[in-house]
Chains A and B, each alone.
Chain A
Amino acid sequence: MVAQFRIPSWWPDASGRRSFNAGFVDVIPALIATCTWGFVTGIALVKSGLTESMATLMTLTVFAGSAQLTSLPLIESSAPLWLIFAAGMVVNVRFLIFGAALHPYFRHMRWPKRLVLGYLSSDISFVLFMARYGDSKVKGSTEQLWYFLGIIIPGWIGWNTFSLLGVFLGSFIPASWSLDFAAILALMAIIIPLVKTRPMAMCLVVAGAIAWLGQPLPLRMGLAAAVGGGVIAGVLTEKLQHKTRRRRA
């Protein structure tokens, strides 16, 4: 007699699987970028001097490329831990905004599930999810949950696989290839697409100038000043734009 195979209760039904697949199909183009970044980040971790075990641990726990890449120059210059934490928080602050927007869709769930969903969320999951369900009146349907999972699960697998590949292949790549420069380029690849509006461009110019001038300051205070200056520049430019627009109207 054949033992009956029991499907666990959390397993998605046909419509759940359809939503998962829809998320997966939507995320495929972005997955190529995610995997490339993961690979470069993995290489950068070991090229900056982290041991393979530390780089592996960092990949699997932190799961945030830009924060990891940001921390590397700080770690190399033996910056204090509080500064590494502060820099990581600032670079990750966008997730607070994403989280605030996504929260209504998952608020009905129990906290351990919300913790995992939040931790696995990414830039691309926010962009795709809001594009599909941003105007939806129903918030918190199973369909939405499975669509979200269809984005974040492949993302997590792809990112970690390629990051670890980079970590382990990184030590075979000679230093003369200067692949640590790829980490800087990867950060640029995050920044440049963000600069689409005039306030964001002003933020970039002002923060860049302050960061350049502030280099001799101790404890990377130039970085803190750049963040403050960049935010103020962005907000002021936005206000100015509103004023001139109102005047014209």
Chain B
Amino acid sequence: MTGDLDYDLYILGAIGLLTLCSFLTRAGYFLFGDYMPLSESVRRALRYAPTAALIGIVVPELLPWRAGAGPVLDIKVFAALIAILVFWRTRSTVLIIVGGMVAYWLLKALF
């Protein structure tokens, strides 16, 4: 609670709606699967939605730009590239987080 009622309600609303998301998507088929046939083509197309949504969140965080000011090149991009390299060499998803953070700290100390 922050004391700002509007803000608290906004956060509560977001949490409530995200909880609803969890129930609808995870338990939807468990509950109503008998009434919801899903065609094979829709099923195949839906496989691409999460990747697209996740990259749609990540890209503006890594490569922000504003109209007029142009793109900003942050060391985060280089840290992210190093993280991808680390995954490519090790196949460990945990090392994406660890490697990326270490790279970010090193780059920040250097530049």
With beta carbons under 8 angstroms apart, the residue of A89, A100, A227 that contacts B56 is A227
With A192-B84, A235-B44 given, is the CB distance from A119 to B23 under 8 Å? yes
CB proximity of B54 to chain A, nearest CB, Å: 5
Shortest CB distance A174–B (Å) = 12
| A94–B2 alpha-carbon span in the complex (Å) | 34
Determine if A188 and B11 form an interchain contact, defined as CB atoms under 8 angstroms apart: no
Q: Provide the B40-61 mask, 1 if CB < 8 A to any CB of A, else 0.
A: 0001111111111111111111
- The distance in angstroms between the C-alpha atoms of A179 and B61, with both chains bound, is 14
Complex interface: chain A residues within 8 A of B27 (CB): 99, 114-115, 117-119
Give the docked Cα–Cα distance between A189 and B11 (Å): 26
Q: Is A229 in contact with B79, judged by CB distance below 8 angstroms?
A: no
Q: With a CB–CB cut-off of 8 A, which chain B residues contact A194? A: 50-51
Contact: A117 with B22, CB < 8 Å?
A: no
Is A73 engaged at the interface, CB distance under 8 Å to the other chain?
Answer: yes
Q: Quote the shortest CB–CB distance from B64 to chain A (angstroms).
A: 7
Query: Interface extent on B, as a size class?
Result: 35 or more
CB distance from A88 to the nearest CB of B (A): 4
A62:B19 contact, CB within 8 angstroms: yes
Is the pair B33, A99 in contact by a Cβ cutoff of 8 Å?
yes
- Residue contact B15 to A58, C-beta cutoff 8 Å: yes
Q: Which of A70, A115, A184 contacts B31 (CB 8 A)?
A: A115
Residues of chain B with a CB closer than 8 A to A211's CB:
55-57, 59-60
- List residues of chain B with CB under 8 Å of any chain A CB: 1-2, 8, 10-15, 17-31, 33-34, 36, 38, 43-67, 76, 79-80, 83-84, 87, 93-94, 96-97, 100-101, 104-105, 108
Q: Which residues of B contact A195 (CB under 8 A)?
A: 51
Given contacts A58-B15, A102-B30, A203-B52, are A187 and B57 in contact (CB under 8 A)?
Answer: yes
A211 to B36 CA separation, bound complex (whole angstroms): 32
**By the criterion CB–CB under 8 Å, are A185 and B83 in contact?**
yes
**In the complex, how many angstroms separate the beta carbon of A65 from the nearest chain B beta carbon?**
11
Q: Are B48 and A199 touching (Cβ within 8 A)?
A: yes
